């Protein structure tokens, strides 16, 4: 059961001659089995926090702990390995590889996971497709799918290596109402299944599903709103 | 990650972007094709000139004549009557001619020559001299210099003070050692070698027709002409006809590829070519420009393709990063993709090149002048445009240089570009809408 702790996190960017503070002394904890929402205006630092938790970016100051282990100090190879094993990303723009079919997109993370043999990969892909109700789309390319279907493929890809943490950056930003609900329900199910799900979203619907909501304002994280 | 998985990712990227990939492959193939063509022309031209030079050199006969007896015009007129003999050219001031010119007492019919002696006084005293035999068929009587020096420097005319008096050896047998072989000669006379240009320690080997030895003050008793025979098969005929003219004096140096006068052959190397020197220079100039342009273009284009392919795939790189691929794994995938395109481009360029060579062989045959410098059309074809000889005509080592440089450029460029993207731009490429 994973536990994530962000401690005294600062992130600064240099923009021309200016220094922009995207995160200012953020302290927060996330636990397994819950769905967390981070809301706020554009540019408030929500995605910055998410990507730093996901080890895609490096804090200027502060630390991130996964199960009490300081992961901010890891080298690139170790961070990649942790990302591969423990973290699944879902993006607003889906970010599927348009040159690969649906099943091949889901296979992508499994290539670098030595626990999967060829047969196990096939099995896993089949299982994920069934779970997300896109079993009949296995041999289609992303351009042949609807927005909702694409996002479900992205979720399947994020779940390929059975991560403990799911990080979703505006997962419903490009979807209609019906598909929004479907996606949020999937995320809720995942959290109930024991995963730690952190969602960055503008969508007020998230309040219906989140266990905790944080608000980001100008790089600062306010307390639990909900 | 397994190697085949890298290959699979690169292959499917290319396969599923057929149009873009084809454009890149075509561009690469055209560049390498240009390189192959310029390489072929350059190497073929060099090989052709080389064959031509040998072909021409072995058909050039150098003939001595007594320039007191005949003028140059008379000689040229006489030789001009011989069929198959072209391009008569006079050589003057040959050191060897002066050598012979100072010994006009040697009225020999054939098989005369000389040996340059190197030796120590010990060996001279022992009647054994070390020398180098320049001609085969040496007979067993000699005349030797009046003074034989232990060491000498031909170029600067430096004489060692130690010497032996050659006149003391008249009537004696001496041994000339040439490598492992030894030749015994009887000394029948001496001559004043110091008056002979550049030949202090030269030992003359001659046949029984030598009469008397006289000092000669005339440095230019003999001259030479070079005659080019039209075909190798006609060399013997021409030599026989020249001998029958009765103008040959002392020695006919058979051909310019004869070892004895190898140093002189380069002087004549560029005289007779199929294409005249001015045109040849122009062609060589064009080839040089082609080569530089091709190499520069291929390197630039490989460089640009490497950068462009990485930049357009920023999002894809971001995805790989997000799902846990390391920087090295991402690098390998992108580099393999570009290398695969490079490889396919090279294969296509070789294929185009083989087609061009076939067309050239068929097309150029009709335009080559048959009779220029006596080279037949058949010989030209054999030297230049024989498809089965293509591997010998391309300098593959040079071609591999450019492929090697391309691979290095791909490696360096993709590494730098991907690292930059991963450092600065990857999050933006992932964040924004599709």
CATH value at residue A109: 3.40.50.300
Among A67, A50, A58, A60, residue whose Cα is nearest residue A20: A60
User: Could you please report the per-residue DSSP string of A41-80?
Assistant: -TTSSHHHHHHHHTTSS--SEEEEEETTEE-TT--HHHHH
Q: Does the pLDDT at position B381 exceed 60?
A: no
A-chain residues near B430 (CB < 8 A): 56, 91, 93, 95, 169
Domain hosting residue A147, numbered range: 31-58+73-221
In a domain, A22, yes or no: no
**First-to-final CA distance of chain B:** 28
Confirm or reject contact between B434 and chain A (CB < 8 A). Answer: yes
In a domain, A82, yes or no: yes
Q: Which helix (H) or strand (E) holds B116?
A: strand B113-118
Compare CB distances from A112 to B12, B329, B432 and report the shortest one's residue: B329
Confirm or reject contact between B21 and chain A (CB < 8 A). Answer: no
In a domain, A8, yes or no: no
Count H helices and E strands in chain A, helices first: 6, 10
**B252 contacts B62 by C-beta, under 8 angstroms:** yes
Confirm or reject contact between B431 and chain A (CB < 8 A). Answer: yes
Pairing of strands B158-159, B152-153: antiparallel
Residues 38-57 of A with CB under 8 A from B: 47, 51, 54, 56-57
Confidence of residue A162 (pLDDT cuts 50, 70, 90): very high
Compare CB distances from B326 to A76, A85, A173 and report the shortest one's residue: A76
Pairing of strands B85-91, B222-229: antiparallel
In a domain, A185, yes or no: yes
CB contact under 8 A, B322 and A99: no
In a domain, A24, yes or no: no
Q: How many angstroms separate the Cα of A9 from the Cα of each of A38, A56, A217, A222? A: 16, 15, 14, 14
Chain B: nearest CA to A14, how far in angstroms?
A: 11
pLDDT at A3: 87
Quote the CA–CA distance of A5 and A198 in Å, as a whole number.
13
pLDDT at B218: 38
Number of inter-chain CB pairs under 8 A, A vs B: 81
Quote the CA–CA distance of A136 and A144 in Å, as a whole number.
12
pLDDT at B296: 82
Q: Does the pLDDT at position A120 exceed 60?
A: yes
List CB contacts of A147: < 8 A, sequence separation 6 or more. A94, A174, A175, A176, A179
**A172 contacts A203 by C-beta, under 8 angstroms:** yes
**B283 contacts B275 by C-beta, under 8 angstroms:** yes
pLDDT at B48: 57
Higher pLDDT, B56 or B414: B414
Among A8-12, A204-208, B97-101, B263-267, which is the least confidently predicted range? Answer: B97-101
pLDDT at B271: 33
Quote the CA–CA distance of A50 and B325 in Å, as a whole number.
19
**Please, what is the angle between helix B18-57 and helix B377-384, to 10°?**
130
Among B231, B277, B244, B294, residue whose Cα is nearest residue B37: B294
Q: In a 3-state reduction of DSSP, which class is residue B253?
A: strand
Quote the CA–CA distance of B2 and B332 in Å, as a whole number.
12
Q: Based on the structure, what is the number of domains in chain A?
A: 1
pLDDT at B323: 92
Chain B: nearest CA to A87, how far in angstroms?
A: 8
CB contact under 8 A, B432 and A93: yes
Confirm or reject contact between A20 and chain B (CB < 8 A). Answer: no
Quote the CA–CA distance of B306 and B409 in Å, as a whole number.
8
Q: Where do we find the tokens 């420097």?
A: B153
Q: In a 3-state reduction of DSSP, which class is residue B393?
A: helix
In a domain, A226, yes or no: no
Quote the CA–CA distance of A205 and A90 in Å, as a whole number.
17
Q: What is the pLDDT of residues B367-376, one digit of tens each?
A: 443 333 444 4
pLDDT at B414: 81
Quote the CA–CA distance of B80 and B76 in Å, as a whole number.
6
Chain A: nearest CA to B425, how far in angstroms?
A: 11
Residues 104-163 of A with CB under 8 A from B: 104, 108-109, 111-112, 157-158, 160-161
Confidence of residue B262 (pLDDT cuts 50, 70, 90): very low
Best mean pLDDT range from A105-109, A114-118, B157-161, B420-424 = A105-109
Quote the CA–CA distance of B139 and B400 in Å, as a whole number.
56
Q: What is the pLDDT of residues B28-44, one digit of tens each?
A: 888 888 777 777 777 66
Quote the CA–CA distance of B244 and B247 in Å, as a whole number.
8
Q: Does the pLDDT at position B434 exceed 50?
A: no
Confidence of residue B115 (pLDDT cuts 50, 70, 90): low
A-chain residues near B431 (CB < 8 A): 47, 91-93, 169
In a domain, A64, yes or no: no
Q: Does the pLDDT at position A10 exceed 90?
A: yes
For the stretch A57-85, what's the b/e string if a residue is b when 16 or more beta carbons lie within 10 angstroms of its beta carbon? bebeebebebeeeebbebeeeebbbbbbb
Quote the CA–CA distance of B29 and A167 in Å, as a whole number.
45
Supply B16's token pair: 């599923």
Supply A69's token pair: 């282990």
In a domain, A6, yes or no: no
Query: pLDDT exceeding 90 applies to what percent of chain B?
Result: 1
Chain A: nearest CA to B13, how far in angstroms?
A: 6
For the stretch A104-140, what's the b/e string if a residue is b when 16 or more beta carbons lie within 10 angstroms of its beta carbon? bbbbbbbbbbeebeeeebeebbeebbeebebeebeee
Chain A: nearest CA to B18, how far in angstroms?
A: 11
Pairing of strands A220-221, A69-70: unpaired
pLDDT at B197: 47
ipTM of the complex in this document:
0.91
Q: Does the pLDDT at position B93 exceed 60?
A: no
Chain B: nearest CA to A10, how far in angstroms?
A: 17
In the predicted model, what is the mean pLDDT of chain B? 66
Burial class (CB in 10 A: 0-12, 13-18, 19+), B362: exposed
Confidence of residue B202 (pLDDT cuts 50, 70, 90): low
Supply B120's token pair: 């120590």
**Please, what is the angle between helix B235-245 and helix B72-80, to 10°?**
130
**B51 contacts B209 by C-beta, under 8 angstroms:** no
Residues 313-342 of B with CB under 8 A from A: 315-316, 318-327, 329
């Amino acid at each position: 059961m994973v536990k994530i702790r962000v401690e005294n996190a600062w992130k600064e960017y240099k923009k021309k001659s200016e220094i922009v503070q995207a995160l200012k002394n953020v302290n927060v904890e996330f636990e397994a089995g819950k769905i967390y929402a981070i809301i706020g205006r554009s540019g408030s630092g929500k995605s910055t926090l998410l990507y730093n938790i996901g080890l895609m970016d490096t804090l200027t100051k502060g630390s991130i702990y996964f199960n009490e282990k300081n992961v901010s100090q890891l080298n690139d190879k170790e961070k990649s390995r942790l990302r591969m094993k423990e973290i699944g990303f879902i993006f607003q723009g889906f970010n599927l590889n348009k040159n690969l079919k649906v099943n091949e997109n889901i296979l992508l993370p499994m290539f670098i996971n030595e626990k999967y043999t060829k047969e196990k990969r096939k099995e896993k892909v089949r299982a994920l497709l069934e779970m997300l109700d896109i079993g009949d789309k296995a041999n289609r390319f992303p351009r042949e799918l609807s927005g909702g279907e694409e996002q479900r493929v992205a979720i399947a890809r994020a779940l390929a290596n059975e991560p403990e943490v799911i990080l979703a950056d505006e997962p419903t930003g490009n979807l209609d109402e019906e598909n929004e609900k479907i996606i949020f329900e999937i995320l809720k199910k995942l959290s109930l299944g024991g995963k730690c799900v952190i969602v960055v979203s503008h969508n007020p619907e998230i309040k219906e599903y989140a266990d905790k909501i944080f608000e980001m304002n100008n790089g600062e994280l306010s307390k639990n709103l909900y | 990650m397994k190697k085949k998985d890298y290959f699979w990712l690169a292959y499917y990227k290319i396969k599923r972007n057929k149009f873009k990939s084809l454009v890149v492959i075509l561009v690469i193939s055209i560049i390498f094709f240009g390189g192959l063509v310029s390489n072929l022309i350059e190497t073929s031209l060099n090989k052709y000139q080389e064959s031509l030079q040998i072909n021409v050199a072995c058909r050039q006969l150098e003939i001595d004549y007594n320039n007191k007896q005949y003028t140059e015009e008379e000689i040229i007129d006489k030789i001009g009557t011989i069929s198959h003999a072209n391009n008569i050219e006079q050589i003057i001031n040959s050191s060897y001619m002066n050598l012979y010119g100072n010994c006009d007492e040697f009225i020999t019919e054939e098989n005369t020559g000389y040996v340059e002696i190197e030796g120590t006084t010990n060996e001279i005293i022992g009647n054994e001299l070390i020398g180098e035999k320049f001609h085969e068929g040496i007979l067993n009587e000699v005349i030797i210099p009046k003074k034989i020096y232990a060491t000498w420097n031909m170029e600067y005319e430096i004489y060692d003070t130690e010497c032996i008096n050659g006149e003391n050896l008249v009537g004696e047998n001496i041994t000339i050692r040439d490598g492992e072989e030894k030749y015994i000669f009887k000394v029948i006379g001496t001559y004043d070698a110091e008056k002979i240009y550049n030949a202090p320690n030269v030992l003359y080997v001659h046949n029984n027709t030598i009469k008397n030895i006289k000092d000669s003050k005339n440095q230019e008793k003999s001259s030479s002409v070079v005659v080019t025979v039209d075909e190798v098969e006609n060399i013997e005929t021409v030599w026989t006809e020249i001998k029958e003219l009765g103008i040959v004096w002392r020695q006919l140096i058979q051909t310019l590829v004869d070892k004895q006068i190898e140093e002189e052959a380069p002087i004549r190397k560029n005289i007779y070519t199929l294409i005249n020197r001015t045109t040849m220079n122009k062609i060589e100039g064009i080839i040089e420009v082609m080569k530089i342009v091709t190499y520069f273009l291929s390197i630039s284009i490989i460089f640009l393709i490497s950068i462009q392919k990485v930049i357009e795939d920023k999002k894809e790189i971001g995805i790989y990063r997000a799902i846990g691929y390391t920087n090295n794994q991402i690098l390998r995938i992108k580099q393999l993709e570009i290398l695969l395109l490079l490889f396919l481009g090279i294969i296509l360029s070789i294929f185009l090149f083989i087609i061009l060579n076939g067309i050239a062989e068929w097309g150029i045959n009709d335009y080559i002048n048959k009779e220029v410098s006596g080279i037949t059309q058949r010989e030209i074809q054999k030297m230049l445009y024989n498809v089965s000889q293509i591997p010998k005509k391309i300098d593959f080592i040079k071609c591999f240089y450019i492929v090697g440089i391309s691979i290095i450029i791909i490696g360096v460029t993709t590494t730098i570009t991907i690292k930059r993207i991963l450092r600065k731009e990857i999050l933006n490429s992932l964040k924004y809408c599709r």
